[in-house]
Amino acid sequence: MWSALKRLYHQLGSPKWFYELTSRWSPWFLWIGSALMLVGIVWGLAFAPADYLQGNSFRIIYIHVPAALLSQSAYVMMAVAGLVGLVWKMKISFVVGKTIAPIGAGLAVMALLTGAIWGKPTWGTWWVWDARLTSMLILLFLYMGVIAIYNAIENEEMANKAAAVLALVGSINIPIIKYSVEWWNTLHQPATITLTKKPTMAPEMFIPLVLTIIGFYCWFAVWVFARTRNEILWRERRTKWVQRILSTGANH
């Protein structure tokens, strides 16, 4: 048992193994994710009933909630990758963290923008400095900080370490985002979906939301795998196995 785990751990750290495994996984994630997104979006936008108060403007939830949820999950993944990289010196881990940062930042922007677009007709304002909106903006700045570190520090090892430390320290913001709507008075409403309670949403609105959330996670996986594989190819470009892939022109 122990030796099997140990082998898996060493395999995980091997760029070649990571490259081959994610190449096999990616099409699955891509197709399942695309199918879920297609069904979820069409269902949510065209067939789900309008909300009794907000009317059709609630439908932005099918982009807003997955983007907001995933941008926080992505940050946790980035922080865990940083921790593994710092403690166990696993190079791949740093690569994964580096590739997540711009995607997570994009998702945070998406969540903030869709929230503002929804807030104008619903609340009557694009933006308000309440705890949820502000902590989400801080999340975006943390992502931008990680990206900036990678761009500013030329020494790869130094950049990896500095970015990992920032990712870890910033992870304290994640529970603050999550509980901001409970700890403080905010304009933003409390969570509709919780793990412990029944969703406070009609099922015919809720199911397409779940589909788009899972779809977002699948697409995210595909994207992170692809970016990581690119980075691996570049870093390992002088090794035999990469040379072989490049010369045969195989795409995995």
Report d(CA 25, CA 66) in Å as an integer.
Answer: 22
Site membership for other proteins, residue 205 (CB under 8 A): yes
Report d(CA 55, CA 60) in Å as an integer.
Answer: 11
- Within residues 125-144, the interface with other proteins by CB under 8 A covers 125, 128-131
Minimum distance from residue 20 beta carbon to other proteins (Å): 27
118: amino acid identity, one letter:
W
- Near other proteins by CB under 8 A: residue from 1, 5, 46, 53: 53
Site membership for other proteins, residue 49 (CB under 8 A): yes
Q: Extract the tokens encoding 87.
A: 């403690």
Site membership for other proteins, residue 83 (CB under 8 A): yes
Report d(CA 112, CA 130) in Å as an integer.
Answer: 13
Contact 110, 62 (CB under 8 A): no
7 burial type by CB count under 10 A (0-12 exposed, 13-18 middle, 19+ buried): exposed
Minimum distance from residue 3 beta carbon to other proteins (Å): 16
Site membership for other proteins, residue 212 (CB under 8 A): no
Report d(CA 190, CA 66) in Å as an integer.
Answer: 16
Question: Contact region for other proteins (CB under 8 A) — 6-14, 79-87, 138-146, 214-222?
Answer: 79-87
Contact 61, 211 (CB under 8 A): no
- Near other proteins by CB under 8 A: residue from 35, 38, 158, 192: 192
Q: Extract the tokens encoding 244.
A: 């072989």
Site membership for other proteins, residue 2 (CB under 8 A): no
Minimum distance from residue 19 beta carbon to other proteins (Å): 26
Contact footprint for other proteins (CB under 8 A): 49-54, 58, 61, 83, 86-88, 121-125, 128-131, 168-169, 171-172, 176, 183-187, 189-192, 200-202, 204-206
